[in-house]
Chains A and B, each alone.
Chain A
Amino acid sequence: MALAVRTSKAGFAKWRAWAPLAVLAGLCILVSLFNSNFLTVSNSLRLLNTAAIPLVLSMGATFIILMGSIDLSVEGVIAVTAVTVSLLVANDLTGYDYGLWAVPVAIIAGGLLGLLNGVLHVRLKTPSFMTTLGVGFAGVGIATAMLGGQTVRISDQTFRALSLGRVGGVPMAIWIALSAVIVAYIIQERTRIGRWVYAIGTDETTARQAGIPIERTRILIFSLAGLFYGLGGVLSAAQFGQGHALISQGRLFTTVTAVVVGGTSLSGGVGSVLNSVVGVLIVVVLANGMVLMGVEPYIQQGVQGLLIIVAVALSLDRSRLDVVK
């Protein structure tokens, strides 16, 4: 009897892991029933192109959420890095023209803001929620101050090719996002840090007793996330050919939604960067699909809200929950 219960529980857990993928497949079928153009190569490329930046961002956010923390600084970090890179490539405000050398500079700037997140969070023992919210606001402030409210326009076509260029018929942004996913997957699967993240997210006390350097790992992961956001900022600037403090508006919501919808638990320890890939695709397909199906704009937002609740409800392992807060 006891065995039977365990089997059914295990069966459900297994099913739960596949739920996001099933949702994605269901969505794709639904949308293509309404519009036969949906599954064409050109639309798939458009979808992936739209997904590129959210994918890069969600790679960073996944590790943080796996640790059971949250990072609300996404938009601030993107704003700083997008403005930084815009000012360093050929543009209409400064005389700099460092071409692609500006890219690592901007990504490192993102990493430094992430480092700041991590150090403040760990050393001052402030909740990640508040720390990153503060750093995020500061980031938008810094970006605003750097430009004095102006918008900087990029004239460097080599830099813009990071978004507009195509390799093998596939937009550059998609290749970059794919590389980011591979890097994140390797970190998750093949490094000690990757395993420690799960240990911390599952049970920090046990992880500490096992000798895992919790503080150092946390700081490192926040910095790593900053690097990913930095790359996201670079891609945003390349996509729109301009940098301004509000370029990242709305990115935070999409990023966190995608990670959670993909099945990574907000309580930490459960999930994977691959889940986030599925999550991003669900969010992007849903938004694209609702326009394709001609869903009323008012209803679209409601559907998005509903999706989050359903996805979280499906992916939650209730057997591990003692308290819901």
Chain B
Amino acid sequence: MSKFDWQKSGVSRRALLKGAAGLGAAGALGLPFARQARAEETTWTLANSMRSLANPYHAAFAKGGEEFAKSIGAKYEQLVTEGNSQKGMSDIRALLQRTGGKLILNVDPNDSPDARVIVEEVQKAGGYVVTQWNKPDDLHPWDHNPSYVAHMSFDGVPAAKTIAEALFKSFGGEGGIVAIGGILSNVPAIERKLGLDQAIEASGGKVKLLDFQPADWNEQKAFEIMQAWITRFGDEIKGVFAANDGMGVGALEALRQNGLAGKVQVVGLDGIEAAVAAVEAGEFAGTVAWDPMWTGGMGLAIPYAVATGKIDIAKEPKEHREFYGTAIIVTKDTVAGYRANPGKVDFNDLWGKATGQIQYRS
């Protein structure tokens, strides 16, 4: 049955023409098709689409995809949007055209609305797609079977809460902190702020948020804001929360200029190398690693399993269609283990690192 289902989109028109009795006929048709697909399984082209290769997260994301493609001997393409939705979509259209729809796409859409257009185009062409991070709330994989295989994300709220609590612990759980946010309308920025707010609330008034300023994910801006805070609050600042590591590093360098690095702890999210090193050096109280190698690889491995008939995606539960990945909390206590075992990706373990269905908080 599973083989029959994934083939259905390819033969549906014919099945329809054959009328009600066509169901059995389509099943019969499906079998030779499935055999053919297995024999030529590398005729699928695999592609990851992302904003830019100039940031460590997306560079690792691309690498994860490349490694999976290599493991099955498939052609692999990297598409880069450069922050331009139109470019992102036209590149995908071109690739669908070139591969005749035999495309497995793992896409981090430049903007949420892009996801709908991409899913519809891929479905029309007969390919398979997985989306990352951004999509409209009312667009669901199960409404576009079987082409729209899954949507993956990471839950910023509990991650930010955990890392904020690690920060509080670094100064004994009582005192003032300052917080640097991302671009205010970004979903991750909203989630991470929410997680911070929850942690502050849970401290029962012991931790006070002295000031919150958005630095738009920019380390330079974070540096300048931190400089001003040192003047404004002086030694009232016991810790710094940054909504991503890049800004956290900016703040850390401002602390260093003032001889405060290591004395005032910083936390961030994303798990970039500089932040992990700062955890080791005792200057960051912690960071959260998202495992982009995993999202980059599994975003292709799951649809590939669908395309080759190994799984019937329409039968999978919702927590296998819209799910969060596992965040790795890196603190002083866990950093050595994180370094020693940087999390090898097992491409056969399709949902091993999925941690629950995505929630909509609006």
Chain A residues proximal to chain B, CB less than 8 Å: 35, 37-38, 40, 42-43, 46-47, 49-50, 92, 140, 143-144, 147-151, 153, 163-164, 171, 239-242, 244-247, 249-251, 284, 287-289, 291-292, 294, 297
A46 to B6, CA, bound (A): 63
* Nearest 6 A/B pairs, CB to CB: A149-B59, A291-B228, A245-B54, A149-B53, A144-B54, A43-B231
* Closest chain B residue to A239, Cβ basis: B253
CB-CB < 8 A to A171: which residues of B?
A: 257
Question: Any chain A CB within 8 A of the CB of B155?
Answer: no
A147 to B54, CA, bound (A): 8
A144, A148, A241: the one contacting B253 at CB < 8 Å is A241
Knowing A151-B273, A164-B256, A294-B211 are in contact, say whether A144-B53 is a contact too (CB < 8 A).
Answer: yes
Question: Any chain A CB within 8 A of the CB of B190?
Answer: no
A35 to B258, CA, bound (A): 19
Chain B residues proximal to chain A, CB less than 8 Å: 52-56, 58-59, 62, 184, 211-214, 218-221, 223-225, 227-232, 234, 249-250, 253, 256-258, 272-274, 277
CB-CB < 8 A to A147: which residues of B?
A: 54
Let me know if B56 and A151 touch, CB within 8 A: yes
Knowing A149-B56, A153-B274, A153-B277 are in contact, say whether A242-B220 is a contact too (CB < 8 A).
Answer: no
Given contacts A251-B220, A288-B231, 4 further A-B contacts (CB under 8 A): A46-B227, A153-B274, A246-B55, A249-B220
A-B contact count (CB 8 A): 100
CB-CB < 8 A to A47: which residues of B?
A: 227
A250 to B223, CA, bound (A): 13
Let me know if B256 and A287 touch, CB within 8 A: no
A288 to B228, CA, bound (A): 5
Knowing A144-B53, A151-B273 are in contact, say whether A291-B223 is a contact too (CB < 8 A).
Answer: no
Let me know if B257 and A148 touch, CB within 8 A: no
9 contacts between A and B (CB under 8 A): A49-B257, A50-B224, A149-B56, A240-B219, A244-B54, A247-B219, A250-B220, A291-B211, A297-B212
CB-CB < 8 A to A239: which residues of B?
A: 223, 253
* Closest chain A residue to B246, Cβ basis: A246
A35 to B211, CA, bound (A): 15
A46 to B232, CA, bound (A): 12
* Closest chain A residue to B60, Cβ basis: A149
Let me know if A46 and B59 touch, CB within 8 A: no
A288 to B225, CA, bound (A): 7
* Closest chain B residue to A143, Cβ basis: B54
Min Cβ gap A50→B in Å is 5
Let me know if B59 and A249 touch, CB within 8 A: no
B232, B250, B258, B274: the one contacting A37 at CB < 8 Å is B232
Residue from the set B55, B223, B228 with the largest chain A CB neighbour count within 10 Å: B228
A227 to B218, CA, bound (A): 25
CB-CB < 8 A to B224: which residues of A?
A: 50, 284, 287-288
Min Cβ gap B211→A in Å is 7
Knowing A149-B56, A297-B213 are in contact, say whether A42-B220 is a contact too (CB < 8 A).
Answer: no
Let me know if A291 and B232 touch, CB within 8 A: yes
Let me know if A50 and B223 touch, CB within 8 A: yes
Let me know if A148 and B59 touch, CB within 8 A: yes
Min Cβ gap A116→B in Å is 21
A46, A143, A242, A249: the one contacting B230 at CB < 8 Å is A46
B55, B218, B225, B227: the one contacting A250 at CB < 8 Å is B218
Let me know if B54 and A37 touch, CB within 8 A: no
CB-CB < 8 A to A297: which residues of B?
A: 184, 212-214
CB-CB < 8 A to A43: which residues of B?
A: 231
Let me know if B227 and A288 touch, CB within 8 A: yes
CB-CB < 8 A to B231: which residues of A?
A: 35, 37-38, 40, 42-43, 46, 288, 292
Let me know if B211 and A151 touch, CB within 8 A: no
CB-CB < 8 A to A151: which residues of B?
A: 56, 272-274
Let me know if A164 and B232 touch, CB within 8 A: no
CB-CB < 8 A to B253: which residues of A?
A: 239-241
A143 to B53, CA, bound (A): 11
A123 to B50, CA, bound (A): 37
* Closest chain B residue to A241, Cβ basis: B253
Residue from the set B56, B257, B272, B273 with the largest chain A CB neighbour count within 10 Å: B257
CB-CB < 8 A to A149: which residues of B?
A: 52-56, 58-59, 62
A291 to B55, CA, bound (A): 28
A151 to B59, CA, bound (A): 10
Knowing A150-B59, A240-B253 are in contact, say whether A292-B54 is a contact too (CB < 8 A).
Answer: no
CB-CB < 8 A to B225: which residues of A?
A: 291
A149 to B228, CA, bound (A): 31
Min Cβ gap A187→B in Å is 27
CB-CB < 8 A to B54: which residues of A?
A: 140, 143-144, 147, 149, 244-246
Min Cβ gap A164→B in Å is 6
